[in-house]
Amino acid sequence: MMTQNKLTADIDPHRLARAISGYNLIGGELVGARSGNRFAVTNPATGREIGHAAQSDASDVDRAASAAARAQPAWAAMSARKRGTLLADCSRLIAEHVEELGRLVALETGKALRTESRVEASVVADALQFYGGLASELKGETVPFSPDMLTLTQREPIGVVGVIIPWNAPMMLMALKIAPALVAGNTVVVKSAEEAPLAVLRLCQILNQKLPAGVLNIVSGFGPECGAPLVTHPAVGKVTFTGSVETGRIVARTAGEKLIPVTLELGGKSPMIVMDDADIAKAVAGAVSGMRFTRQGQSCTAASRIFVHDKVHDEFVALLKARVDALKMGDPLDEATDIGTVISRTQLDKVLGYIESGRAEPHSRALECSQLPADESLRQGLFVRPVIFTGLGNASRLAREEIFGPVTCVIRFSSYEEAVAQANDSDYGLAATIWTQNLKTALDATRRLQAGFVQVNQNIVVQPGLSYGGVKQSGLGREASLEAMLDHFTHKKTVIFNMN
Ligand code: ADP
């Protein structure tokens, strides 16, 4: 067991990874798994081991959920403003640790420091500040039920919230869940993703300097062994999950058995429609950022189906290829690098499998972009050159299934109606964009596109303050906004005073 001292930022990610190896954070303390088991964490850019994570099971989850349950009444009894102030303090503290957190997440995920990892760490500070400021919005209403009665509603925390996160933007996705849960008076147990357990652990360790012990706990481990017991644990009254559709279904099924609420952020196959009157240069830039090429396409909202009007198709493809070619692949920790690696060998094989399958389709053309790094020390790195496919239809496997890699399909269309119909012809409905100078077309598209997050002439990522979430197989519930905090982390109690 290791007790918390005042933490100083350590920007050597290798040293930091070793220092926090093998721990969970429960009740304010770093503790190993009860079994003593650990699993290796590797750097996907070199294949080398950088540390270990605690391999937790149901007994560790029980320890964490019990600590959270013990801490919850006092946390909920604190004034909402006080909790908000603590979150704002947390935000300031994280701002002092952005560099080390950025470096650590770059080391374990392979995401480039300058374009992705450091940015992710800053978003964490932003999310904490945003939700800290919303504390006084946890308001109820008075209801004009009867003149002889005072009828009102009040927002109450749910209790202990289980947070299950993936590896693609682990710190940001965790922050967007824990910040609203905490400010609303819940306590939290996070289960980190097995591929990226270290930066989120360090983040929780930093936050625990400000938060009372037991309010924020984190355990690492594998899905069935550690994630599943978190969902079934009797103290856990709500689960918020980001991950695959298959696992989301399992989580929802268990939550259904327990009759507890669940928020699910699942996959996407987000369409981008480029009309012939669009500003092509801007649309191309939007495709590069929207497809998250700098994150190797590992994003639920990746613009992985780009419908381009016949008249501008060839110009768009040529410009897109040129822009992606200009991105530099390399060591994620190098400031000159735009694109790092994919997360794991499994993911690499999956992505390469899709590329092979796309190449084998009739009429397809695979435009491989950028260049693999020449550096000898990165020879074992999990680098995948971005691929832009043309000539594939919306019925192709590559246009239907979530690849979660740097692969996009540019699909030609000749009428707006055809583009909207194809964009909506998907199991998913997370994000969508339309690029046009015509306001009427833009407005029509925003009404008809089946997605939770629709943008015109831009393609930005989830932002604190804007409700984010999907329709269809992309999930249940919304995140990142005031409504997300109220709807998903509190319940509304009705109170009636009879004055007679
Ligand atoms: P991915 O394909 O991105 O790894 P998963 O949905 O498998 O997506 O994983 C997302 C998170 O869900 C991870 O933290 C993982 O450990 C966890 N998880 C996997 N299986 C289960 C399960 N049966 N119950 C709860 N959590 C799980």
CA–centroid distance for 392 within its chain: 29
How far, in Å, from the CA of 227 to the mean position of ligand 1?
Answer: 7
How far, in Å, from the CA of 446 to the mean position of ligand 1?
Answer: 32
What confidence tens digit (pLDDT) does each residue in 42-61 have? 999 999 999 999 999 999 99
Round to whole Å and give the CA distance between 70 and 67.
5
| Ligand 1: nearest atom to the Cα of 250 | 23
pLDDT value at residue 242: 98
pTM for this prediction: 0.97
Helices (H), 49-196: 58-77, 80-96, 98-109, 118-132, 170-183
110: closest CA among 404, 299, 330, 326?
A: 330
Report the side by side order of strands in the sheet with 149-157: 142-143, 149-157, 490-498
SS3 of 486, please?
A: helix
Round to whole Å and give the CA distance between 340 and 333.
9
pLDDT value at residue 2: 45
Q: Is 479 a catalytic residue?
A: no
Report yes or no: 467 and 176 within 8 Å, Cβ to Cβ.
no
Report yes or no: 441 and 416 within 8 Å, Cβ to Cβ.
yes
Residue with tokens 């070199």: 46
Pairing of strands 149-157, 475-476: unpaired
CA–centroid distance for 114 within its chain: 18
Residues with CB under 6 A from ligand 1: 164-166, 191, 193-194, 222-224, 227-228, 231, 243-244, 247, 250-251
The catalytic residue among 100, 116, 194, 265 is 265
Backbone angles phi, psi at 156, to 5 degrees: -125, 150
| Ligand 1: nearest atom to the Cα of 167 | 3
| Amino acid residing at 343 | I
CA–centroid distance for 277 within its chain: 33
Domain boundaries, the chain: 13-266+474-495, 271-463
Q: Which residues contact 256 (CB under 8 A, 6 or more apart)?
A: none
Backbone angles phi, psi at 15, to 5 degrees: -65, -45
SS3 of 200, please?
A: helix
SS3 of 442, please?
A: helix
Q: Which residues contact 120 (CB under 8 A, 6 or more apart)?
A: 102, 105, 111, 169, 171, 172
Backbone angles phi, psi at 299, to 5 degrees: -145, 140
pLDDT value at residue 3: 45
pLDDT value at residue 6: 76
Angle at alpha carbon of residue 106, lines to 105 and 111, rounded to 5°:
115
Residue nearest ligand 1's atom 18 by CA = 223
SS3 of 125, please?
A: helix
SS3 of 71, please?
A: helix
Mutate to test the pocket of ligand 1, among 108, 164, 253, 473 (most ligand atoms within 8 A of CB): 164
| Amino acid residing at 182 | L
pLDDT value at residue 8: 92
SS3 of 353, please?
A: helix
CATH number attached to the domain at 13-266+474-495? 3.40.605.10
Residue 435's H or E segment, with its range, is: strand 431-435
Q: Which residues contact 82 (CB under 8 A, 6 or more apart)?
A: none
Round to whole Å and give the CA distance between 285 and 323.
8
| Amino acid residing at 122 | S
Report yes or no: 179 and 91 within 8 Å, Cβ to Cβ.
no
How far, in Å, from the CA of 288 to the mean position of ligand 1?
Answer: 28
One digit per residue, the tens of pLDDT, for the chain of length 500 reads 444 557 999 999 999 999 999 999 999 999 999 999 999 999 999 999 999 999 999 999 999 999 999 999 999 999 999 999 999 999 999 999 999 999 999 999 999 999 999 999 999 999 999 999 999 999 999 999 999 999 999 999 999 999 999 999 999 999 999 999 999 999 999 999 999 999 999 999 999 999 999 999 999 999 999 999 999 999 999 999 999 999 999 999 999 999 999 999 999 999 999 999 999 999 999 999 999 999 999 999 999 999 999 999 999 999 999 999 999 999 999 999 999 999 999 999 999 999 999 999 999 999 999 999 999 999 999 999 999 999 999 999 999 999 999 999 999 999 999 999 999 999 999 999 999 999 999 999 999 999 999 999 999 999 999 999 999 999 999 999 999 999 999 999 999 999 98
How far, in Å, from the CA of 251 to the mean position of ligand 1?
Answer: 9
Residue nearest ligand 1's atom 16 by CA = 223
193: closest CA among 164, 151, 229?
A: 164
CATH number attached to the domain at 271-463? 3.40.309.10
Longest pairwise C-alpha distance within the chain: 84
When the pLDDT of each residue in the chain is averaged and rounded to a whole number, the result is 97
Backbone angles phi, psi at 86, to 5 degrees: -65, -40
132: closest CA among 170, 83, 68?
A: 83
